[in-house]
Amino acid sequence: MNPFAIFNRHPASELSAYIDGQVKSERRATIERHVDGCASCRSDVAELRVVMTTMGDLPLAAAPRSFALTPNMVARPVAASEPRSMPGYVGMRIAGAGVAAVLAVVVLLDAGGVVNESGSGDDSGSTALNFAETSDDAPTGAQLDMSEYDEFANDLEASASPVERAGGAEETKAPEPTIAPGSAPADATQEPAAGGIGGALDGENATTTPDEGYIADAPVATDPVLPVNADDSDAAATDATLDNEALRTVAAGEDNGISTLVIIEIALAVFAAAAVAGSFVLAYAVNRGSNRD
């Protein structure tokens, strides 16, 4: 019995490396002395050896089959990894591009309407300009409407975020200057138009929002159901101006000039909504499909 063994901590954590000869020589001698005089460590060493022997005696399993690579195996992962991530982006890009293109057309038509109508006479000025006039008459009402629009637009913009990620929103915001030459009320036509992207995502609101963008001068437009009737331009004009006396005459005067534009815009908006919804569904389906692999 080694008298020093009592004073040494059991080198348990080193015994494994000690057995493998992986301990430096000075330390090795110390451990050796300890083990010699310590029954507990001696039994540890013996049992660790049993583990090593038993594990070492485990027979090697023959490979159950050949793992030789075929040209297919080598080609597959490279080819598979690209389409796996692509369809989602492609879907989003198509959606973004589609929305941007349609909105660009809408905005151009709007701008065209502004130019044509403002050139045609005093009374038949652009709707944006008319709104500017009426807001002078009823500043309080206009202010209220603005805040409602803001809320609405914010809500829609929140839901529009997926499109923003696709880069669609940036493009749609770009044409702003063409419509709104500075006047604050004219901006009101902007926001619902921008919100229109978000609305298009929902599908239900989709058909209504572009109208709101167009007839933003009508405070009623905050009710998203009304403009759906705009096919009947008379009804739309009446509805839109119900709450605002000052607007009624203006809107009535605009009827003939606006109606075709409104219809075209509704059609485009429906198309945009369908395109966006479709491509999202497609992108979703493709993603799910690729995740399953």
Partner 1 sequence: MAAVAQTHSDDDLDLIARARGGDLGAFNVLVERYETPVFNLCFRMLGGPAAEDAAQEAFISAFRFLERFRGGSFRAWLFRIAANACYDEMRRKKARPAVSLDQPRGEDQRPFDAPDNEPTMEERAANTELRQALQHALDQLPAEQRLAIVLCDVQGMDYAEIALVMDVSLGTVKSRISRARFRMREMMMERRELLPDSIRQSGEEQ
What residues make contact with partner 1 under the rule CB under 8 A?
Answer: 12-17, 20, 22, 42-43, 45-56, 58-69, 71, 73-74, 77-78
Residue 83: CB minimum distance to partner 1, A: 17
Q: Using the minimum distance from each CB to partner 1, give the nearer residue, 122 or 293.
A: 293
Exposure b/e, 241-256, CB count within 10 A at least 16 = b = beebebbbebbebbee
Q: Using the minimum distance from each CB to partner 1, give the nearer residue, 61 or 121.
A: 61
DSSP string, 196-253: HHHHHHHSTGGGTHHHHHHTTTSGGGGSTTGGGGGGSHHHHHHHHHTT-HHHHHHHHH
| CA atoms 251, 257, 260, 262: torsion sign | negative
Q: Using the minimum distance from each CB to partner 1, give the nearer residue, 65 or 121.
A: 65
Q: Using the minimum distance from each CB to partner 1, give the nearer residue, 13 or 140.
A: 13
Q: Using the minimum distance from each CB to partner 1, give the nearer residue, 53 or 147.
A: 53
* Pairwise CA distance, residues 114 & 219, whole Å: 19
Q: Using the minimum distance from each CB to partner 1, give the nearer residue, 35 or 102.
A: 35
User: Hey, is 211 helix, strand or coil?
Assistant: helix
Whether the Cβ atoms of residue 257 and residue 125 lie closer than 8 Å to each other: no
Angle, alpha carbons 177-182-185 (nearest 5°):
110
Residue 15: CB minimum distance to partner 1, A: 7
- For residue 109, give every residue at least 6 positions away whose Cβ sits within 8 Å of its Cβ, in sequence order, or none: 261, 264, 265
Residue 71: CB minimum distance to partner 1, A: 6
Residue 293: CB minimum distance to partner 1, A: 13
Distance of alpha carbon 118 from its chain centroid, rounded?
A: 39
Residue 72: CB minimum distance to partner 1, A: 11
**What does each C-alpha distance from 94 to 57, 86, 171, 206 come to in angstroms?**
62, 12, 13, 18
Q: Using the minimum distance from each CB to partner 1, give the nearer residue, 33 or 248.
A: 33
* Pairwise CA distance, residues 16 & 6, whole Å: 21
